Structure 1
């Protein structure tokens, strides 16, 4: 282990990086393309510094196609005991109804418990929370013909009353999200019959990863990746999720450009993460012939707000957690370490048998219009980037890595299930 006292990321510079990209960057849109060009130019400035051309490869943009779904119609009308239409948004990657929709009994099933779902055959069910594939399977097995889930809070007004759009494989069931306040009205009025109409189509979008590689001095055949996604959801500009992570990855590139590592390092800004980790999946596929050389992935996702704590979500053998704990204690960096599968691009590397972690920080406004640069702190960016660089320097420079590089069997099973859904 080492003290890394020379690591001093510039939080003000990182904040400016976030501010310069303070616009919606949904996958495949002009906003995402603009941000990719910005990141590429920032990386090119660093790589073009005198003398660095000998060990920093030319920054590059790796283009790919991102499959997606486009909502064409999402309608929910309560037919009995009253008639009223409510604003809903389709669960993308789910099923469509017939063109005329489906008319069926409407049933509130709370959290989707077995007793409530025992009455769901032939009905459209309302579930309290957004659902994932396991609950959708449960709803289908109960015989329901569609589902509606609740999002938002009772305090929302104006724009915040717009339902959130979710992407889930919905097992041949049409699904939609409705706002909390509308759901309350529906349940209070004891809705018993509805018409649900969901129409969507599959499309393809152009997206890109931005990457740059520093060749290692002693172990150039071994690769350490530092990653973050730069796309956002369409609802907001994604300063916290995740351009702050992108800024921290750029600070790491700046540091290692000046302090050349022993192992080769690749810095990657992924597109289309919000569509289902599409950018990172494209990366491991297009670099499949060298994945056996990858020794560790350090990912950042959700970062930069002041009031919160840094978490290292480690998808690897517990020996990695023990080593990281000792490293963070030696360098007096406050973190919580969790040994689990993490729902971010680190999953993609762990799925390919590469030990991985995601650096994550508590925050406000994820996937909403409130995820703006005003809530980002230069101090938090500097602290997070120092934690990231310290962990990366340890992995990139240790002569012998002291941890088991095998992904535990239970995590392998969970990852296989994750990417199969």
Structure 2
């Protein structure tokens, strides 16, 4: 977006938020923009809106941009008769259209499984499991297949990565779509992909003059294609905003960075870029708190991460869990030696799905309560209210 246009939008948003909107208002506004895929207009609209909210609370803001290559699915499917069934291109798949008969490969796509059927010039349909996606695909290529469809073993569309560019179009599909693919039936496999460079942006809010924060509260703002991302991860982004709101006139607010990362869904790229480009600042941090999927009570609130922070949380009577509860932006900070903890409420049924449209603002407020209590104990300052 042109700087003058962004400035005008920011000024307009700021004028409309002289009194800070409620969490409900924030979510309602941002969800109208649609999925916040890194580099998309919706992603920028959401960031501009939230930047105005931080500034209305008295914080300065700074943007840090970075660019990375991305493989995008432009809308892949498989046509069965008059039906068009959706799927997702496997990351690193070749693009292309193949009209050919389906061959259902027995087992999970081992060389021995392929030896039992003839897939030459046909579309090999394979169940997920046992072997990496790449190995299944390579076995199909060796057997002469013209295309590959991999069926998920759990409900929902299959998203996956091959890890190496392949010469075959490879589509991941749900069990429902998979059940419609009958042996010997002619289908048209359409894998539409594109390589592009994405310009992504991290947003940082802080009190004027603060250059060496001792605490960082962060969450990723981006979502995956097709998913509005109410829980993953607007809930985490609004938790950061809620903490900033409560801490605005406290020592915690004066000593903290509040960050919304971009490119998390493409590999924790926003947090990795921030850590790489701010090495001196990273050394001043006592703790990084990360919030990811905290708006749906799929499971009780858990904290996981660096043991020293978990010990502090346990002493304060806060919920902790020593297990790894998934990769998110806290990992980038842990790998740089910063004590970090992730706040998480489990993987809900709409994870990475079009149904991710609902979150509970009270759960966001409850998460902010826990985070501020932990921050108080880490920084040993007067609690924020």
TM-score band, normalised by shorter chain = 0.7 to 0.9
Which protein, 1 or 2, shows the higher relative CO under an 8 Å CA cutoff with sep ≥ 6?
1
1:17 maps to which residue?
26
From 195, 198, 201, give the equivalent of 1:202.
Answer: 195
Change (3 A) 1:283 1:128: same
Change (3 A) 1:195 1:121: same
**TM score, norm. by length of structure 2:** 0.76
Q: CA deviation at 1:171?
A: 2.1
Change (3 A) 1:114 1:295: farther
Distance in structure 1 (CA, Å) of the matches to 2:235 and 2:226: 17
Change (3 A) 1:77 1:36: closer
Q: Secondary structure at the match of 2:238?
A: helix
From 87, 90, 102, give the equivalent of 1:89.
Answer: 87
Distance in structure 2 (CA, Å) of the matches to 1:262 and 1:239: 26
Query: Is the 1:27–1:231 Cα contact (8 Å) retained in structure 2?
Result: yes
CA displacement, residues 298-324 of structure 1 (integer Å, 9 cap, x when unaligned): 11111222564112132x3x4443332
1:261 maps onto 2:272 in alignment: no
CA displacement, residues 211-250 of structure 1 (integer Å, 9 cap, x when unaligned): 0234899xx8563211011122231321111111111111
1:106 maps onto 2:107 in alignment: no
Q: CA deviation at 1:14?
A: 2.5
1:139 maps onto 2:132 in alignment: no
1:371 maps to which residue?
356
Change (3 A) 1:319 1:191: farther
Unmatched 5+ residue regions in structure 2? 1-20
2:331 maps to which residue?
347
Query: Is the 2:312–2:377 Cα contact (8 Å) retained in structure 1?
Result: no
Distance in structure 2 (CA, Å) of the matches to 1:147 and 1:336: 43
1:238 maps onto 2:247 in alignment: no
From 53, 66, 71, give the equivalent of 1:69.
Answer: 71
Distance in structure 1 (CA, Å) of the matches to 2:75 and 2:241: 40
Distance in structure 1 (CA, Å) of the matches to 2:284 and 2:364: 30
**TM score, norm. by length of structure 1:** 0.70
How do 1:394-413 residues align onto structure 2 when only pairs under 5 Å count?
A: 394-397=377-380
CA displacement, residues 243-283 of structure 1 (integer Å, 9 cap, x when unaligned): 11111111111233222139932110112222222222222
Measured on the aligned residues, the alpha-carbon RMSD in Å equals 3.7
Query: Is the 1:342–1:358 Cα contact (8 Å) retained in structure 2?
Result: no
Unmatched 5+ residue regions in structure 1? 1-11, 49-57, 155-162, 399-421
Distance in structure 1 (CA, Å) of the matches to 2:351 and 2:335: 25
Change (3 A) 1:228 1:72: closer
Which shows bigger deviation, 381-390 or 13-22?
A: 13-22
2:294 maps to which residue?
303
1:166 maps to which residue?
159
2:265 maps to which residue?
274
1:40 maps onto 2:51 in alignment: yes
State how many pairs are aligned.
350
From 295, 303, 306, give the equivalent of 1:312.
Answer: 303
Distance in structure 2 (CA, Å) of the matches to 1:185 and 1:357: 44
Query: Is the 1:28–1:66 Cα contact (8 Å) retained in structure 2?
Result: no
Q: CA deviation at 1:199?
A: 4.4
1:323 maps to which residue?
312
From 375, 380, 384, give the equivalent of 1:392.
Answer: 375
